[in-house]
């Protein structure tokens, strides 16, 4: 080794070694410190993230309860449709997304909307990891599934099931189905997607973006019963590697936090008091009329047997059964329709009752002793009061209370109006449930109005005038009622003064048919009415149909026994402003009304027919009520004979 010359000494290096060792130690200590931070201090957070990376939560859909009529016929049920969900934080924007859009046929706006959402979610996931804060709220949002498409077609579903791309889930969701379509749509209601507002309120109750919620009617009011509770199942994603050797059960036991599975709870079924056959006959009787409302109630229970508002809408379409675009389109059309198809005219709209209110005015007069049933008033076509002349529909000459009701003589009632106080009239009206919400529970309820002296004083700055009372007596002026109120009040007349709470839901059942809750009829109040007075009025009502001079007599059907009162309610004159000029004549026509009960002796049902702008009540509203009552009689007979027949399979609740 002599050829290797040792030339330089290493002395210069000596002093540096210590510093090098120190540098090495410090550098590795920093790494160990960082390791401790990641694994010990933040260990739980990272473990949670690692678990989230391999665990997916899948919703298990629940079944919404079924809505049935009084005889077990299904009014709202479910049919299967495949809903495609995405987890925005996970979807692969490059490979999966374009294919998905094509398969599901998303339009550009939908596509763009979801794309921003996906990007936001993925940015949020990264932001959260960057800040190292475990924000549970944000975690949950990033992992939250959103609905991409309802009712996806079978080809798309098949592709998704075979390829199972990350962040996309398909679940068969029951879609709401209304077999009777427009029939009873206002009462039964429809479904809509829960909006952001409602979502923020309802998130604690398990609602997620894209969920459907009952929009109106029973679907809305009984949402909490019908909805049920969705289940959840956790599963491992893309199982790979060595862990594949272990059985799936073992792996799930190791990595999935309890609870691993929550079974869905199906919603409760709701049985209504409605008789869909009767409702169908109402619909049939109303054909040829543009708009109107009919309510049939059982006078012995206050149960609503039929309630129909015309025109109606198809809940299948507005619920999105035919796609979201179709539903939006339907709403656009419904909202501009001057006949207001979405308005429930039986509950949510108040109309002047016209002459159908006269029985209550008569009862007010009788109670105060202002009316002598035998006393006659000479009708010469009107009544002079103050400086005004109040017109009658005809020249009835000498009428007493009975014939005034039968012939619907205004003059007789003007005379009463000149003597009775308006506050007394209003008080009687309130007794019969006018001017107060009935508390039916579904749909926004109109209150109607029983004007008082105070109300007029508030409304018109000048002094109260007696003429207002004259108008109130005949159900005009400021007096308004809802069709439902009128039906319940006539039911009270028919049953001798019991005002019932209107009842629409008969019972709540579990999905296997066990009755959970039954709702008995509820009396709202007993109207303090003299039986004798009531009898006088009822005889008058019978005369309306039965007597030759009666306003409903001409339209009476043979074999139909009913008693009632016609009404022709003048409407506020509208000008062509805001209305199609060709249709102004229609909107200026009077409302045709008929309020009745049947049979005339020991009555069972009360029926109110309102034809919006239908003209004269006797001519237009009576035939509808007659036909409905005839059909009701027929149905009753069929059911009676069926019940005595042991082969009957219908779901009668009696």
Partner 1 sequence: MRGDRMSFRTGPYVDMPLMLAAVGIVTLGLVNLYSATSVYVESTQNSRLADNYVSQIYWVVVGALLAILAAAIDYRHYERLSTFLFVGGMISLGLVFILGNDIRGSSRWINLGGFAFQPSEFMKIVVILMVARFVHNDPKTEPRTLIDLAPPLLATAAPCAAVMAQPDLGTAIIYALICISILAMNRVRRGSILVVVLAASAALPLAWYYVLRDYQKARITSFLHPEADKTGTGWHALQSQTAIGNGQIWGEGFMQGTQNQFGLLPDQFSDFPFAVFAEDWGFLGGVVLIALYAFLSIWAVHIASQAKDRFGAAVAIGVGAMVFWHAICNIGMATGVLPVVGITLPLFSYGGSSIVTMMIGLGLLMNVSMRR
Measure the CA–CA gap between 419 and 366, rounded to whole angstroms: 12
- Closer CB to partner 1, residue 119 or residue 391? 119
Asked if 98 interacts with partner 1 (CB under 8 A), we say no
Stretch that binds partner 1, among 19-27, 139-147, 288-296, 472-480 (CB under 8 A): 19-27
Among 2, 31, 458, 578, binds partner 1 (CB under 8 A): 31
Specify the pairing of strand 505-509 against strand 397-399. Answer: unpaired
Among 80, 102, 107, 131, binds partner 1 (CB under 8 A): 131
- Closer CB to partner 1, residue 129 or residue 554? 129
Contact 176, 65 (CB under 8 A): no
Partners of 515 in the β-ladder: 509
Asked if 28 interacts with partner 1 (CB under 8 A), we say yes
Among 58, 111, 115, 122, binds partner 1 (CB under 8 A): 122
Asked if 54 interacts with partner 1 (CB under 8 A), we say yes
- Closer CB to partner 1, residue 55 or residue 635? 55
Residues in 230-259 that interact with partner 1 by CB under 8 A: 236-245, 255
Tokens linked to 649: 């399979």
- As measured in angstroms, the least distance from the Cβ of 104 to partner 1 is 23
User: Is residue 41 classed exposed, middle or buried when 0-12, 13-18 and 19+ CB atoms within 10 A define those classes?
Assistant: exposed
Asked if 634 interacts with partner 1 (CB under 8 A), we say no
Asked if 166 interacts with partner 1 (CB under 8 A), we say no
Residue that is written with structure tokens 């169908």 in the block: 280
Tokens linked to 562: 């009913």
Stretch that binds partner 1, among 12-20, 143-151, 507-515, 550-558 (CB under 8 A): 12-20
- As measured in angstroms, the least distance from the Cβ of 33 to partner 1 is 9
Asked if 335 interacts with partner 1 (CB under 8 A), we say no
Stretch that binds partner 1, among 31-39, 427-435, 487-495, 502-510 (CB under 8 A): 31-39
- As measured in angstroms, the least distance from the Cβ of 344 to partner 1 is 50
- As measured in angstroms, the least distance from the Cβ of 243 to partner 1 is 5
- As measured in angstroms, the least distance from the Cβ of 518 to partner 1 is 53
Helix (H, G, I), strand (E, B) or coil at 544: helix
Measure the CA–CA gap between 219 and 269, rounded to whole angstroms: 11
Is the bond preceding 382 in cis, omega lying within 30 degrees of 0? no
- Closer CB to partner 1, residue 58 or residue 639? 58
- As measured in angstroms, the least distance from the Cβ of 343 to partner 1 is 49
Instruction: Using the CB atoms, write b or e for 480-510: b if 16+ within 10 Å.
Output: bbbbbbbbbbbbbbbbebbbbbbbbbbbbbe
DSSP 350: E
Measure the CA–CA gap between 426 and 450, rounded to whole angstroms: 5
- Closer CB to partner 1, residue 3 or residue 585? 3
Element at 491 (helix H, strand E): helix 483-495
Stretch that binds partner 1, among 50-58, 136-144, 426-434, 517-525 (CB under 8 A): 50-58
Which residue blocks in 496-549 are alpha helix, DSSP H?
A: 531-546
- As measured in angstroms, the least distance from the Cβ of 126 to partner 1 is 5
Contact 268, 509 (CB under 8 A): yes
Among 130, 196, 531, 654, binds partner 1 (CB under 8 A): 130
Among 2, 6, 602, 649, binds partner 1 (CB under 8 A): 6
Q: Measuring CA to CA, which residue among 617, 598, 615, 594 is closest to residue 606?
A: 598
What number of residues does the chain have? Answer: 654
Stretch that binds partner 1, among 27-35, 462-470, 531-539, 555-563 (CB under 8 A): 27-35
- Closer CB to partner 1, residue 123 or residue 574? 123
- Closer CB to partner 1, residue 54 or residue 571? 54
- Closer CB to partner 1, residue 245 or residue 601? 245
- As measured in angstroms, the least distance from the Cβ of 443 to partner 1 is 48
Asked if 641 interacts with partner 1 (CB under 8 A), we say no
- As measured in angstroms, the least distance from the Cβ of 10 to partner 1 is 5
Among 40, 463, 531, 654, binds partner 1 (CB under 8 A): 40
- Closer CB to partner 1, residue 127 or residue 328? 127
Q: Measuring CA to CA, which residue among 483, 480, 495 is closest to residue 538?
A: 495
- As measured in angstroms, the least distance from the Cβ of 158 to partner 1 is 25
- Closer CB to partner 1, residue 20 or residue 454? 20
Helix (H, G, I), strand (E, B) or coil at 259: coil
Asked if 4 interacts with partner 1 (CB under 8 A), we say yes
User: What is each CA distance from 530 to 60, 486, 526, 535, 553, in whole angstroms?
Assistant: 61, 20, 12, 9, 28
Measure the CA–CA gap between 229 and 214, rounded to whole angstroms: 15
Instruction: Using the CB atoms, write b or e for 347-380: b if 16+ within 10 Å.
Output: bbbbbbbbbbbbbbbbbbbbbeeebebeeebebe
Q: How many residues bind partner 1 (CB under 8 A)?
A: 57
- As measured in angstroms, the least distance from the Cβ of 81 to partner 1 is 33
Asked if 525 interacts with partner 1 (CB under 8 A), we say no
Distance of CA 579 to the CA centre of its chain: 28
Among 2, 9, 336, 532, binds partner 1 (CB under 8 A): 9
- As measured in angstroms, the least distance from the Cβ of 21 to partner 1 is 5
Asked if 654 interacts with partner 1 (CB under 8 A), we say no
Which residue blocks in 164-264 are alpha helix, DSSP H?
A: 185-188, 196-202, 217-221, 223-227, 248-255
Gap between the terminal Cα atoms of the chain: 119
- Under 8 Å CB-to-CB from 232, ≥6 apart: which residues? 57, 58, 59, 60, 259, 261, 262
Instruction: Using the CB atoms, write b or e for 293-320: b if 16+ within 10 Å.
Output: bbbbbbbbbbbbbbbbbbbbbbbbbbbb
Asked if 39 interacts with partner 1 (CB under 8 A), we say yes
Using CB under 8 A as the criterion, which residues of the chain lie in contact with partner 1 when the complex forms? 1, 4, 6-10, 12-14, 16-17, 20-21, 24-25, 27-28, 30-32, 34-36, 38-40, 42-47, 49-51, 53-54, 119, 122-123, 126-127, 129-131, 236-245, 255
């Amino acid at each position: 080794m002599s050829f290797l010359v040792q030339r330089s000494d290493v002395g210069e290096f000596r002093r540096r070694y210590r510093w090098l060792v120190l540098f090495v130690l410090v550098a590795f200590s920093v790494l160990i410190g960082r390791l401790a931070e990641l694994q010990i201090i933040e260990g739980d957070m990272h473990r949670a993230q690692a678990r989230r990376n391999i665990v997916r939560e899948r919703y298990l859909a629940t079944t919404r309860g079924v809505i049935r009529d009084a005889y077990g016929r299904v009014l709202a049920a479910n049919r299967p449709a495949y809903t495609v969900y995405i987890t925005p934080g996970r979807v692969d924007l490059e490979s999966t997304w374009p294919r998905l859009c094509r398969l599901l046929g998303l339009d550009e706006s939908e596509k763009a909307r979801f794309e921003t959402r996906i990007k936001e979610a993925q940015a949020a996931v990264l932001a959260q990891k960057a800040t190292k804060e475990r924000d549970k709220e944000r975690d949950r949002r990033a992992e939250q599934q959103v609905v991409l498409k309802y009712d996806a077609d079978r080809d798309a579903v098949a592709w998704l099931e075979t390829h199972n791309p990350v962040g996309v889930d398909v679940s068969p969701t029951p879609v709401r189905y209304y077999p009777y379509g427009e029939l009873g749509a206002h009462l039964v209601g429809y479904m809509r997607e829960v909006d952001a507002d409602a979502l923020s309120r309802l998130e604690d109750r398990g609602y997620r973006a894209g969920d459907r919620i009952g929009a109106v009617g029973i679907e809305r009011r009984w949402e909490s019963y019908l909805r049920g509770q969705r289940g959840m199942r956790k599963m491992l994603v893309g199982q790979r590697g060595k862990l594949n050797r272990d059985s799936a059960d073992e792996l799930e036991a190791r990595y999935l936090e309890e609870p691993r599975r929550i079974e869905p709870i199906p919603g409760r079924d709701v049985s209504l008091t409605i008789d869909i056959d009767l409702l169908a006959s109402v619909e049939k009787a109303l054909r040829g009329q543009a708009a109107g409302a009919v309510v049939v109630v059982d006078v012995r229970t206050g149960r609503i047997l039929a309630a129909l508002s015309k025109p109606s809408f198809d809940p299948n379409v507005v619920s999105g059964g035919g796609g979201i675009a179709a539903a939006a389109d339907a709403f656009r059309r419904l909202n501009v329709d001057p006949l207001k198809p979405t308005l429930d005219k039986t509950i949510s709209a108040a109309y002047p009752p016209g002459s159908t209110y006269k029985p209550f005015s008569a009862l007010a007069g009788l109670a105060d002793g202002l009316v002598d049933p035998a006393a006659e008033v000479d009708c010469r076509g009107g009544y002079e009061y103050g400086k005004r002349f109040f017109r009658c529909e005809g020249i009835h000459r000498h009428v007493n209370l009975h014939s005034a009701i039968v012939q619907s003589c205004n003059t007789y009632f003007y005379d009463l109006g000149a003597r009775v106080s308006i506050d007394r009239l209003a008080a009687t009206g309130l007794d019969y449930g006018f001017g107060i919400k009935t508390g039916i529970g579904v749909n926004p309820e109109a209150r109607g109005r029983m004007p008082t002296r105070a109300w007029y004083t508030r409304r018109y700055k000048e002094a109260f005038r007696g003429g207002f009372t004259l108008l109130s007596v005949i159900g005009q002026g400021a007096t308004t009622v809802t069709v439902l109120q009128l039906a319940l009040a006539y039911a009270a007349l028919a049953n001798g003064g019991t005002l019932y709470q209107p009842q629409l839901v008969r019972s709540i059942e579990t999905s296997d048919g066990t009755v959970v809750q039954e709702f008995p009829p509820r009396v709202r109040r007993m109207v303090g009415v003299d039986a004798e007075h009531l009898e006088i009025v009822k005889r008058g009502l019978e005369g309306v149909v039965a007597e030759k001079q009666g306003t409903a007599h001409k339209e009476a059907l043979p074999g139909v026994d009913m008693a009632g009162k016609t009404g022709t309610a003048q409407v506020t004159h509208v000008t062509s402003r805001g209305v199609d000029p060709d249709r102004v004549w229609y909107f200026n026509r009077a409302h045709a009304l008929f309020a009745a009960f049947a049979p005339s002796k020991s009555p069972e049902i009360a029926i109110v027919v309102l034809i919006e702008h239908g003209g004269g009540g006797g001519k237009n509203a009576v035939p509808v009520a007659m036909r409905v009552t005839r059909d009701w009689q027929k149905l009753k007979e069929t059911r009676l004979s069926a019940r005595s027949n042991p082969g009957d399979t219908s779901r009668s609740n009696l």
